[in-house]
Amino acid sequence: MYPAIEPYEVGRLEVSTVHSLYYEVSGNKDGSPVVFLHGGPGGGVDAKDRGFFDPKKYKIVLFDQRGAGKSTPSACLEDNTTWDLVEDIEKLRKKLNVENWHVFGGSWGSTLSLAYAQTHPGRVKSLVMRGIFTLRKSELHFFYQDGASHLFPEAWEEYIAPIPEQERHDMVLAYHAQLNAVDDTTRIIAAKAWAKWEMSTSRLHVSAEAVAQAEKDDFANAFARIENHYFVNEGFMRDGQLLEKQEIDKIRHIPTIVVQGRYDVVCPATTAHALKKVWPEITLHIVPDAGHSSREPGIEKLLVEAADKMADL
């Protein structure tokens, strides 16, 4: 990763009558623009995310998506869909007087990267994606219903604990009821349990720091409520839409590098493999000793190398 830097511009962008987005710009004012799309949805950006990009070559744009991080209102689900976020990226591009830009996203950030590129292909100079997630029913089933549970049985017990046994046949729906309960205590207990499940399984070796993040009320509330909202609504798209040939044909020409952990249980390699089959032109790196997180050493290294490669395009 590149050394820590501070933004030279920080601002807020009103994108609807409800939502205001936090954004920041760092690196080279005259550099090649790149927009970083964070995960979750609802995960928010971290200052460390600037470190993927050479600050001499890139004009680095980070922003918190609707309801996430420093964007307001926090955890707000109103007017919060995949397609609202796609248009927010365009609003931010125009606000910053950017003609077109590199797009970089992991996990949900890869979902949004694909949705944005397939909607506005002319605005995307390159794609660097990590832990491919396309929100198919099968992907959600594996992580939230029956799959990852077999690899992390201890964490799974904590994840199902807030849900009555008779509701456990549909965990995403059951969590939707608790994450939107009138009672604040019910909501925060469910939010922390939901967030802890993901943060406990996102690394090959469990990270205490990542798990501790799930204990932070504001993070857990936004991450859990927004993720669950998108999943209950199936990402506001057709099942498998982002992998359809007609959709990939719109972006087939865009230089693209994907980095995928072999032991990613949150967004298993099967989706990156499916993407490669429908889009053989991409470069796909499978990291043999990594899980889901962009902070896994092998993943972090290849992401920086990928961004370095795209910088001169």
Ligand X SMILES: CNCC(=O)c1nnc(C(C)(C)C)o1
**192 makes contact with ligand X (CB under 6 A):** no
- Nearest approach, Cβ of residue 66 and ligand X (Å): 14
Closer of 125 and 130 to ligand X (Cβ) = 130
Q: Is 292 a catalytic residue?
A: yes
Which residues is 170 bridged to in the sheet?
Answer: none
Asked if 266 touches ligand X (CB under 6 A), the answer is: yes
Q: Is 52 exposed, middle or buried (0-12, 13-18, 19+ CB in 10 A)?
A: buried
Provide the minimum distance between the beta carbon of 73 and ligand X in the complex, in angstroms, as a whole number: 19
Residues that contact ligand X, how many (by CB under 6 A): 11
For ligand X, the binding residue among 43, 67, 261, 268 (CB under 6 A) is 43
Place of tokens 């744009």: 61
* Interface of this chain with ligand X, residues 195 to 234, rule: CB under 6 A: 198, 202, 227
**Separation of first and last alpha carbons in the chain:** 20
Measured in whole angstroms, the distance separating CA 184 from the mean position of its chain's CA atoms is: 26
113 is catalytic: no
Q: Is 104 in the site for ligand X (CB under 6 A)?
A: no
Nearer to ligand X, 248 or 267 (CB): 267
**Candidates 34-42, 240-248, 270-278, 305-313; binding stretch for ligand X (CB under 6 A):** 34-42
Tell me, yes or no, if 264 is annotated catalytic.
yes
227 vs 247, which CB is nearer to ligand X?
227
Q: Does 69 bind ligand X (CB under 6 A)?
A: no
Residue with smaller CB distance to ligand X, 38 or 136:
38
Burial class of 148 by CB neighbour count within 10 A (0 to 12, 13 to 18, 19+): buried
Q: Which is nearer to ligand X, 32 or 300 (CB)?
A: 300
Residue 40 in contact with ligand X, rule: CB under 6 A: yes
What is the smallest separation between the CB atom of 116 and ligand X, expressed in angstroms?
15
* Calpha distance 313→311 (Å, rounded): 6
Active site residues: 107, 264, 292
Chain positions contacting ligand X, by CB under 6 A: 38-40, 43, 107-108, 133, 198, 202, 227, 266
